Structure 1
Amino acid sequence: MTQPFKDAVGMCKTIMRNGFDAYVVNAQLQRELLEDSTDIELDLACEAPFDEIQRMFPNVSEGSERGVIALLKEADVTYRFYPIDVEDASHPEESIARITPHLLKRMEEKYGSIPPQYACPYVPGSETYEGFEDIATGVIKFSGIPDQTLRRNYLLGIRALRFAANYDLPVEKNTWISIVKATSRILDYVPSHSIMEEWRKVEAENMWRFVELLFDSMILHGLVPELAALSRCIQIKNEDTGEEQTVFQHTIDTMRHYPEELPYDWFGTFAVLCSNVGKLYTAEFSNDTWTFNQSCRVGAKVTRKIMGRLSFLPQDIDLVCHLVKHQQFFHNLLTDRGIRRFRALDEYPRLIEMARADVKGRGIAFTAFNHNMKWIERADTPEQMIEPFLNGNEIMEATSLKPGPHVGLLRDELLKAQIEGKVNSVEEAIDFVRGYKM
């Protein structure tokens, strides 16, 4: 080993002793290029930023060439420092730099041509849009050769889908097929927390599109198979028309509507995404129809497992699971007591909007929803202040009914009529119970 190489290795050791990784780039190739050369120039790769390199080697200057962090000249030797690939999501073969722009130039000078595999050297960087063509072109497109660009950082596949959803732009065809081909590698090499960092940057209003792209690219099938499987689960969309649809499509439709009333509510929209996952485990076909008994409670348990796998914080998991568990509460025609129980739940405004989005997604009537919305306005009134104009004895006297549960039911109906403003006096109450009996 010549002295310049020994010095380069010594520099790498100094950098490593200071807590940063470092190595000599493609040492064998550099030895070949330096044979019979009077200009000794060596390329190093290191993790340290310029200010740290300068602390270790005070004589360095900032690099002006493409990708060069720092430049050091000692005696007749020039050392160039390039950045190390620190992306967790890059292909293993891309983690070690084998070529730099400077080495390419030296190869061309010595051999007169450049091997195809070295034609486009990769210099790591950290810019958000690095690896993409300008989005002003109207499409989301990887720069260079899509397959090669994606290999350098498989997180770019998730980022491309995020850009497409947020900017409402199509993914360029070659870029799209490179993502589809690399689905398994994206799932293998990109940590779940990195995927979620990208997902959290998707606007709530656009999350339905992002999930749709995850599904179409087959990434969702490996990331959250419980959700992807909903595409094979059928439900009745509208009981009046008998129209059917997949549970997954209904989930997408509901996600589109939820942010209309609560914009920017990312966690509420994510809860809508998980709202139907329990149907996969509770689906039962009987009497020519599908039923999903206890799907909300089961869905909350499955959601907890999914979110734990995706590295969510405990408090965020508790929030979403609470919404999934209680989502059906507001779908029923609630009594005054039922409304008060509903109002006592945490996050009830979100539960209201989940119900509203579900009704819109199904295209069904708002009858029960409007009824509950009207009653919820009276929930602030203390329960003891709301009494029917007639008690049980007075109802039996007015209707000649005998004691029994039907008297209590009639009393509840009278109270409903009072709350709705249909009965406003004792006389009207007597007419109501007599008419209801008939």
Structure 2
Amino acid sequence: MDKTYRDAVSICKTIMRNGFEAYVINARLQRELIAETGEAELDIATDMDPEGLDKIFPELTLSENSRFLGKLSEGGVLYRFYPLEAEDSAYPEEYVARLTPRLLKRLGDKGELPPNIACPYTPGIKDRYAGFVDIEQGLVKFSGNADLTLKQDYLRGIRALRFSANYNLPIEHNTWIAIVRGARRILDYVSIADIMDEWRRVEAENMYEFVRLLFDCQILHGLLPEIAALSRVTQLLNREADQEESVFEHTLKLMRHYPEQNPFDWKGTIACLFHDVGKLYTAEYFAGNWHFHQHHQVGAQVTRKILHRLRFTPEDTDLICHLVRHHMRFSSMLTDKGIRRFRALPEHLRLIEMERANVKARKGNYTDFNHNLKMMERTELPEEMLEPLLNGNEIMEFTNLNPGPAVGLIRDALLNAQVSGDVSSVPEAVEFVLGYKENSTKE
């Protein structure tokens, strides 16, 4: 081992004794270059910050370039320090920096650049846009060789889908096929926490497109197989149309329409993603149709399991599962008592918007929905004002009237008197109906 390399190893050990990583980058290549050129230069990778290096090596000259920490001249040798910051989601071999700009230049001068060096991993500072060409070009595209760029950091596959969904940009063909080819390794090497960090940056109104892209590139099949499987479950588009659609396509439509009223409701949109997941487990074919009894209840249980897997907080999990559990409550025509029970539910406004989006997605009619909205207005009144203090039989008993329209008129008049505050007790109600009958007789 020559002295230049031994001194470099000593520097690395000094850094490591201080609790950091350090190694000579591509030692074999650098020793060959020193032997050929006689230039005493060595490149070192370390995860120690510049300030820490400056304290250990006072003669260090710090760099203003984020891809280069600084340089040190010692014993006639020039040492360059590069940041050791391989992504956790990189292919395992990519954790080892093999080339630096200086080494690339030397190889280029010798005409010995390897054929796969179009996009090598060189040490650098983390940047969310690293590995992408400028999106101002109007598309999402990996820089250099798409497969190698993805291999350096598989999280870029998820990030490309996010850029495409949020910015409404197409994904360049070679970039797309690299993501499809690498889908399994994206799932192998990218943590759930990192995937969800990217997902949370997707705008609610664009989430349906992000989920569609996850499905199309086969990532959704590994990440959320319960949702991907809904593409194989069919249902009628609506009660009137003799037309089927997959539950997955219906889910995407619901996710597209929900943010039209709640544009920033990310959690509500996530609830739309899971609202019909229970249909996978409750589907039963009978009498020529598919039936999904209690799919909302089963779906809430399945959703809880999935959200735990995706590392959602307990609070967010409870909220989303609540929305899944009760998303059917506003879909049928409700009575006074039914609408009051519905309004007592937490997050009932979100549930209303989920049903509005559901009607749009299924191209259904708004009869039941509009009825329930009108009934919601009545909930502003105290419940005792929605029913008269005396029913029809009691009115006939006190007034000696026979069944007929007159009894209905008195009942309506009594209810109006209660709403206006003129009648507030049973004795007052008896007095009112007797007086109403007497006045009607005089007329």
Given the alignment of the two structures, is residue 269 of structure 1 paired with residue 254 of structure 2, yes or no? Answer: no
Matched residue, 1:104: 104
Q: How far is 1:330 from its partner?
A: 0.8
- The AA in structure 1 aligned to 2:138 is G
**For the structure 1 residues 348 and 310, does the alpha-carbon distance in structure 2 shift closer, same or farther, using more than 3 Å as the test?**
same
**For the structure 1 residues 426 and 182, does the alpha-carbon distance in structure 2 shift closer, same or farther, using more than 3 Å as the test?**
farther
CA distance in 2, matches of 1:114, 1:157: 27
- Please state whether the residue corresponding to 2:141 is helix, strand or coil: coil
Q: Once superposed, what is the RMSD of the aligned Cα atoms?
A: 2.6
Gaps of 5+ in 1: 402-410, 420-424, 431-438
Q: How far is 1:106 from its partner?
A: 2.8
Matched residue, 2:176: 176
- The AA in structure 2 aligned to 1:274 is F
- The AA in structure 2 aligned to 1:235 is Q
Q: How far is 1:389 from its partner?
A: 7.0
Matched residue, 1:260: 260
CA distance in 2, matches of 1:164, 1:352: 30
- The AA in structure 1 aligned to 2:311 is S
CA distance in 1, matches of 2:93, 2:239: 55
- The AA in structure 2 aligned to 1:237 is L
Matched residue, 2:425: none
Given the alignment of the two structures, is residue 316 of structure 1 paired with residue 316 of structure 2, yes or no? Answer: yes
What do residues 25-73 of structure 1 show as CA deviations (whole Å, max 9, x unaligned)? 1112211111154321111111122222223222212236783221111
Given the alignment of the two structures, is residue 377 of structure 1 paired with residue 377 of structure 2, yes or no? Answer: yes
- The AA in structure 2 aligned to 1:264 is F
Q: How far is 1:342 from its partner?
A: 1.0
Matched residue, 1:84: 84
**For the structure 1 residues 396 and 206, does the alpha-carbon distance in structure 2 shift closer, same or farther, using more than 3 Å as the test?**
farther
Matched residue, 2:347: 347
| Larger gyration radius, structure 1 or structure 2 | 2
CA distance in 1, matches of 2:402, 2:240: 36
Taking structure 2 as the reference length, the TM-score comes to 0.87
Gaps of 5+ in 2: 405-410, 420-431, 438-443
Matches within 5 A, 1:128-207: 128-207=128-207
Q: How far is 1:317 from its partner?
A: 0.8
Q: How far is 1:267 from its partner?
A: 0.3
Given the alignment of the two structures, is residue 74 of structure 1 paired with residue 74 of structure 2, yes or no? Answer: yes
Q: How far is 1:74 from its partner?
A: 1.2
CA distance in 1, matches of 2:191, 2:325: 28
Q: How far is 1:426 from its partner?
A: 8.0
CA distance in 1, matches of 2:134, 2:96: 28
- The AA in structure 1 aligned to 2:121 is Y
The 8 Å contact of residues 85 and 96 in structure 1, kept in 2 or not, is answered as no
What do residues 296-327 of structure 1 show as CA deviations (whole Å, max 9, x unaligned)? 01001111111111111111111100110011
CA distance in 1, matches of 2:19, 2:395: 85
- The AA in structure 1 aligned to 2:160 is A
Aligned residues: 411
CA distance in 2, matches of 1:188, 1:151: 12
- The AA in structure 2 aligned to 1:302 is V
What do residues 125-176 of structure 1 show as CA deviations (whole Å, max 9, x unaligned)? 3122111111111111111110110000000000000000000011011110
**For the structure 1 residues 376 and 426, does the alpha-carbon distance in structure 2 shift closer, same or farther, using more than 3 Å as the test?**
farther
Matches within 5 A, 1:206-355: 206-355=206-355
CA distance in 1, matches of 2:376, 2:334: 9
- The AA in structure 1 aligned to 2:190 is V
CA distance in 2, matches of 1:321, 1:120: 44
- Please state whether the residue corresponding to 1:44 is helix, strand or coil: strand
- Please state whether the residue corresponding to 1:330 is helix, strand or coil: coil
The 8 Å contact of residues 101 and 121 in structure 1, kept in 2 or not, is answered as no
- The AA in structure 2 aligned to 1:129 is Y
Q: How far is 1:208 from its partner?
A: 0.4
CA distance in 1, matches of 2:391, 2:66: 88
- The AA in structure 2 aligned to 1:117 is N
Q: How far is 1:238 from its partner?
A: 1.3
- With 221-230 and 31-40 compared, the bigger mean Cα shift is at 31-40
